[in-house]
Amino acid sequence: MNVESKINIRNQNLEQLQNFVAALGQPGYRALQMYDWLWNKGVQNFQECNNIPISMREHFESNFYIDGIAEDTVQISMDGTIKTRFRLIDHAMIESVLIPVPEDGRFTVCVSSQVGCSLSCKFCATGMMERVRNLTPGEIFDQVFKVNMQCMAYYGKPITNIVFMGMGEPLLNYKNVMTSIHHITGKHGLHMSPSRITISTAGIAKMISKLADDQSKVNLALSLHAADDDKRNEIMPINETNNLKALMAALSYFYKKTKGKISYEYIAFENFNDSTQDAYKLARLCQSFPVKVNIIEYNPVEGVHFVKSEENTIDRFARILREKNIMVTVRRSRGKDIDAACGQLANK
């Protein structure tokens, strides 16, 4: 598709569309109709907008393009997890994952926010890729829209939760991520509750504070993975410029301003961050504001030397935290057999 001379219509707000429609001498409600097609019906082609006159569709097509994504490959895990690789309009690839837990009535979509990632976390397959570009609001929205359709087709249920835990660092694509959430939660769009959305970050302190200043209603998850700066510096280079003191201050500010839910994601690595001492250090990081800890089983990544902690070690670690009255969940991996588990997304 030749889009060089055209404008991405999903980067236009409603007022801009209304101005375009008015310049054509058309009634204002035509812009509302188009907005509905884009953000409620998830249209990928102007010709599908059948309540808009053909001549007007042609005007839209001459001036705009839709940055739709297309299903490239679908893999289904033995545990029911579904990983989809999507092809973008510039032929770049991203991955999204549907994580079903039917017994709990939870169907979660894990979405990507960037093509690749720039943070180079030492345990993560995506971190080994270069960051190519940020995803647009439309490309993020489409992942939710298309995986929701997938969920309906496979499980007969809509998605219940959205986690920004796929490829990329959401807070380094802040504007586009928040715009996509505006459309996902808006009455003109998918009308999902922001309380069902979690943004996961490797730890960008100033952007966590911005999230608070913007009075966001989403939940926040910090990919912590180590409870002291030395260990965190070793596995997450971002910590060198966003240390734990700065992150704790930003999270405290976020909680004070929004009262939003905060969680720590903590992958357990054998003989690295799973000792009794590590558990007590983590407990101290849970004292400043209400926080839930999700202890995650490490998923193997080719070329990475880390090994997952033994189950009894993880259970002991969790028990120490619970004795400190900290809410803890131990998450067993899902989708490992199709490289869809935490840290494994790399367009395979």
| Least confident range of 1-10, 131-140, 241-250 | 1-10
Q: Dump pLDDT digits (tens) for 170-180.
A: 999 999 999 99
User: What integer pLDDT is reported at residue 342 of this predicted model?
Assistant: 54
Task: Give catalytic status of residue 61 as yes or no.
Answer: no
The per-type count for the chain, helices as H runs and strands as E runs, is: 10, 14
| Residues forming a β-bridge with 64 | 7
- pLDDT tops 90 at residue 286: yes
User: What integer pLDDT is reported at residue 302 of this predicted model?
Assistant: 74
Q: Dump pLDDT digits (tens) for 34-55.
A: 999 999 999 999 999 999 999 9
Task: Give catalytic status of residue 342 as yes or no.
Answer: yes
Q: Dump pLDDT digits (tens) for 210-236.
A: 999 999 999 999 999 999 999 999 999
Which residues fall within 8 angstroms of residue 338, CB to CB, at 6 or more apart? 75, 76, 77, 81, 83
Give the residue from 49, 46, 50, 43 showing the smallest Cα distance to 61. 46
CB 203 within 8 A of CB 239: yes
Q: Dump pLDDT digits (tens) for 65-111.
A: 999 999 999 999 988 999 999 999 999 999 999 999 988 999 999 99
95, 139, 265, 297: the active-site residue: 95
Structure tokens at 303: 């070329």
Local confidence band at 334 (pLDDT 50, 70, 90 cut-offs) = low
CB 21 within 8 A of CB 31: yes
